[in-house]
Amino acid sequence: MKKFNLDKDEQALLDDFESGDLVSIFTDARKYELKQAVTQTLKKDKRINIRLSSHYLPAIQRRALEEGIPYQTLVSSVLYKFVSGTLKDVLVNKYSAT
């Protein structure tokens, strides 16, 4: 077995793991909570209609094809990222780093 140079904290974790003292927090109750959160997040219970410029839809469909997902899923994902504050402008990030 290969030996590693572990610091004090890493060695303590390894010792606890090997002795069986570590207990998973992924209990049935936690699994149920996570499943409920996912169900609520992925629930699609509202429909919207949107009008786009005629050149946007083919571009969106092309991008979705590149990603391997339906274009409606791509649009929904972009909207989710926008409202959750996780949408990143790659051009801004690209040029602000230089």
Q: Is the dihedral of CA 75, 78, 82, 83 positive or negative?
A: positive
Is the full-model pTM beyond 0.85? no
| CA 77 – CA 81 distance, rounded (Å) | 6
Percent of the chain with pLDDT over 90: 29
- Is the predicted pLDDT of residue 35 greater than 70, yes or no? yes
Give me the pLDDT at residue 51, please: 93
What tokens does 5 get? 């140079």
Q: Is 19 helix (H, G, I), strand (E, B) or coil?
A: helix
CA distances from 20 to 15, 24, 55 (A): 9, 11, 60
DSSP secondary structure, 58-88, as one string: HHHHHHHHHHTS-HHHHHHHHHHHHHHT---
